[in-house]
Amino acid sequence: MNSPKLTKAYLSVPIVDCGEPLEAIPPELFILEFPPPYIKLGADYGDASPYYLRQGVLNALAQARQNLAILRPDWQLKIFDAYRPVAVQQYMVDYTFQELLKQKAYPEEIIWQEVYKIWAIPSEDPKSPPPHSTGAAVDLMLVDSQGQDIDMGGQIDELSDRSQPDYYRNNSKEQKYQIRRDILLNIMTQAGFRRHPGEWWHFSLGDQMWTWQHNLENPGQTLIAKYGRINT
């Protein structure tokens, strides 16, 4: 099974890691998906945990929690996944490929294209780490006061057009999903995060993708990424 050689624009952003440590996401402040979704599918984190983030990213996430408390005090943030070793990224890329191979009689090249719509390249090159392997990216959703998931009109990691953040923007019958996605977007961006262009659930701060988006929006203020790959 040979993955094609792919490149993504954000990977051209240079990195000078600031050296911030990973910190545990406090379970008393956030709902944590349990058991961790990729461990449930067989991924081996070794001594690592998916529920860690860089110190500065965790501080921003705490601010997003406060933003939500003002806007919707009856809702909470639920963390689906955060830190992800490159080995886990590779496992999930391979797992998704095999699952699609069972479901669709497509050429392998087409299946790889589908896989990489939502999965970052599991690169071992320190110049091009997967976003989650930097400890600067988080996948999350909203839950109600009873801890029940708020329906966002699609599942995390769903390989369909519904994963596009604005999928429901012009759908008058399903505006509730767009409103909920916009609430998540607003509380996160107000805290400094940027959202993945193709995933309603993925947000990052200070990694290559965040920096790439910042530089596109602010051509006169070119930044470099401050979070690179963490080895655990």
pLDDT tier at 14 (50, 70, 90 boundaries)? very high
Inside any domain, residue 13 = no
Kindly report the pTM of this predicted structure.
0.95
- Quickly list H helices, the chain: 37-40, 55-71, 86-103, 108-115, 175-190, 208-217
Mean pLDDT for all residues in the chain: 95
pLDDT computed for residue 79 by the predictor: 98
Q: Does the pLDDT value for residue 1 go beyond 60?
A: no
- pLDDT-above-70 percentage for the chain: 97
For 68-115, how does the pLDDT look when each residue is reduced to its tens digit (9 = 90+)?
A: 999 999 999 999 999 999 999 999 999 999 999 998 778 888 999 999
Inside any domain, residue 27 = yes
Q: Does the pLDDT value for residue 211 go beyond 90?
A: yes
Q: How far is CA 180 from the centre of its chain?
A: 17
For 159-176, how does the pLDDT look when each residue is reduced to its tens digit (9 = 90+)?
A: 999 999 999 999 988 999
> What is the tally of structural domains in the chain?
1
Inside any domain, residue 230 = no
Inside any domain, residue 30 = yes
Inside any domain, residue 128 = yes
CATH number at residue 85: 3.30.1380.10
**Residue 204, SS3?**
strand
pLDDT computed for residue 2 by the predictor: 56
Inside any domain, residue 50 = yes
pLDDT tier at 145 (50, 70, 90 boundaries)? very high
Catalytic residue among 33, 114, 124, 199: 199
pLDDT tier at 3 (50, 70, 90 boundaries)? low
Inside any domain, residue 3 = no
In three-state form (DSSP H/G/I as H, E/B as E, the rest C), the secondary structure along 59-122 is HHHHHHHHHHHHHCCCCEEEEEECCCCHHHHHHHHHHHHHHHHHHCCCCHHHHHHHHCCCCCCC
pLDDT tier at 5 (50, 70, 90 boundaries)? low
**Which residues span the domain enclosing 112?**
23-217
199 is catalytic: yes
Inside any domain, residue 11 = no
